[in-house]
C-alpha cells in the first residue's frame, strides 16, 4: 500500500489515502448557514482522497460554538448543498461530521435551549460566548425520551445531508462532545440502561450509529472516536475501563458494515488502537496528530506499515490546500497560522497559497 494509491471505504472510492480531518473553523453565516466562503475552502482541498467537514450541529440545542454550521434547517441544507457541489465540481469526495455538543455549550450559544448531557455535571472552567466568558452551566441529565429524540435528530440530519448531495456521514463520538460524554465514567454517572457498565455507557453511541446507518446505508457512514483523549472533562484514565468501553462500542457497531472507523490517538501502533482495529474488521483511518501536526513521513509510515487504511490529516491540510501534490513532490509546506484557526473571514481560511 502507498499513501497515494486508491482505497475504498465502504461506498467511498478515494483516489488517495490522505483524509482531511474535521477541523473546527467557525466561518458559518447567521443561523449556522454555510456560505460561499466555506464552499471555496473545501473545494480548494478537494484533491485529498476524502474531506470531512467540521462538526455540524444536528439541532439548535446541539450547537457548541458561535459561527458553527448546522444541518437542521432547509436554509442550512441548501448552503451545504452548494458546498458539496463545489467539491464535486473538483472531483472530490466529502462527508459531513454530525456533532452534538452535549454540555460543551451555553444558553447564549444554543439559542437558550436545554443543555443535555448524560449526567448533571458541569465542565470546570469557562466557555466563550458572544457576550463574553462565563462558567459552563450545569446540564440537564437526558431522560430516555430525550435520548430517543436525540437519536432521531441525528437520523434526520444524516438524511438532510445526503439529500443535499453529501457522499456520506461521520458520527462524532470523540473529543468530549455528547456521544463521548456517555462513554466516560467520569462524565456519565448514570445507573440506568445508559450508564454503569462499559456496555451500558456505549449503548447511546451504538444506537445513534445504528440508526444513522439504517437511514442512509451503512456503507457511507463513518464513526470518529478518541480513546484516552482526556479533553473537556471527559476523562478516560483507567486503561482497563477504557479498553472495555471501546471494545463494547466497536463490538456493537462492527456487524453493521460501516464505511470506516476513524481513531484519534497519539500511539497508533498501541495495543488499544490495533485491538479496536481488529475488532472493527473494516477500514480504519488513523489520526495521530494529538499535539503536533502529522508529517509526511508519519503518514507514509502509518499506511506502509499496515497500521491504517488511510491517514487523517488536520493542520498540514489546513495550511496547504494542495497538500497531496506537495507531499508527493516533497515540496516545501506552508506553516499554519494558529491565530487564524477560528473566527470570521478568509484570512487563514481560503488565502493559503498553492504551488
Q: Which of the 8 DSSP states describes residue 168?
A: E
Residue with cell 455507557: 201
Nearest to 160 by CA among 56, 261, 52, 258: 56
177 catalytically annotated = yes
Residues 6+ apart with CB under 8 A from 341: 23, 24, 25, 318, 348
What CA–CA distance (Å, rounded) separates 168 from 183? 24
51/54 Cα distance (integer angstroms): 10
Selecting among 177, 194, 246, 260, the annotated active-site residue is: 177
Q: Given CA atoms 146, 149, 155, 160 in this order, what sign does their dihedral have?
A: negative
Give CA–CA dist 29/218, Å, rounded: 31
> How many CA within 13 A on the CB side of residue 228?
20
If you search the block for the grid coordinates 497560522, which residue do you land on?
337
Around Cβ 339, how many Cβ atoms within 10 Å?
9
Give dist(CA 118, CA 142) in Å, integer. Answer: 6
Where do the DSSP E strands lie in 220-317? 221-225, 260-264, 284-287, 310-313
Of 315, 316, 308, the C-alpha closest to 333 is 316
Phi-psi region of 26 (alpha: psi -120 to 50; beta: other; left: phi over 0): left
Distance CA 83, CA 349 (A): 15
CA dist 245 and 36 (Å) reads 41
Q: What stretches of 15-166 show up as alpha helix (H) in DSSP?
A: 36-44, 74-89, 144-163
For 177, phi then psi, to 5°, come to: -90, -175
Catalytic machinery residues: 177
Amino acid at each position: 500500500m502507498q499513501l497515494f494509491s486508491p482505497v475504498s471505504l465502504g461506498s467511498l472510492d478515494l483516489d488517495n489515502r490522505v483524509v482531511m480531518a474535521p477541523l473546527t473553523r467557525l466561518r458559518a453565516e447567521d443561523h449556522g448557514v454555510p456560505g460561499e466562503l466555506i464552499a471555496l475552502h473545501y473545494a480548494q482541498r478537494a484533491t485529498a482522497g476524502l474531506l470531512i467537514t467540521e462538526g455540524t450541529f444536528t439541532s439548535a440545542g446541539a450547537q457548541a460554538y458561535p459561527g458553527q454550521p448546522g444541518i437542521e434547517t432547509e436554509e442550512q441544507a441548501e448552503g451545504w448543498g452548494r458546498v458539496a457541489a463545489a467539491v464535486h465540481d473538483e472531483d472530490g469526495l466529502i462527508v459531513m461530521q454530525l456533532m452534538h455538543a452535549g454540555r460543551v455549550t451555553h444558553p447564549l450559544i444554543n439559542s437558550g435551549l436545554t443543555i443535555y448531557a448524560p449526567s448533571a455535571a458541569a465542565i470546570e472552567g469557562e466557555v466563550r460566548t458572544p457576550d463574553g466568558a462565563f462558567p459552563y452551566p450545569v446540564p440537564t441529565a437526558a431522560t430516555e425520551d430525550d435520548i430517543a429524540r436525540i437519536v432521531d435528530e441525528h437520523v434526520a440530519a444524516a438524511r438532510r445531508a445526503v439529500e443535499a448531495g453529501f457522499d456520506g456521514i461521520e458520527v462524532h463520538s470523540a473529543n468530549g462532545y455528547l456521544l463521548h460524554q456517555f462513554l466516560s465514567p467520569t462524565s456519565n454517572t448514570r445507573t440506568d440502561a445508559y450508564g454503569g457498565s462499559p456496555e451500558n455507557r456505549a449503548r447511546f453511541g451504538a444506537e445513534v450509529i445504528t440508526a444513522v446507518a439504517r437511514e442512509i446505508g451503512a456503507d457511507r457512514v463513518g464513526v470518529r472516536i478518541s480513546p484516552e483523549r482526556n479533553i473537556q472533562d471527559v476523562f478516560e484514565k483507567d486503561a482497563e475501563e477504557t479498553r472495555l468501553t471501546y471494545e463494547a462500542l466497536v463490538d456493537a457497531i462492527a456487524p453493521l458494515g460501516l464505511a470506516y472507523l476513524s481513531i484519534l490517538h497519539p500511539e497508533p501502533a498501541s495495543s488499544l488502537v490495533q485491538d479496536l482495529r481488529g475488532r472493527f474488521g473494516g477500514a480504519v483511518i488513523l489520526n495521530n496528530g494529538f499535539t503536533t501536526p502529522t508529517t509526511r513521513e508519519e503518514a507514509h509510515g502509518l499506511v506502509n506499515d499496515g497500521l491504517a487504511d488511510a491517514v487523517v490529516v488536520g493542520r498540514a491540510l489546513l495550511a496547504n490546500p494542495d497538500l497531496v501534490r506537495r507531499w508527493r513532490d516533497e515540496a516545501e509546506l506552508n506553516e499554519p497560522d494558529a491565530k487564524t484557526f477560528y473566527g470570521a473571514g478568509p484570512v487563514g481560511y481560503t488565502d493559503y497559497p498553492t504551488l
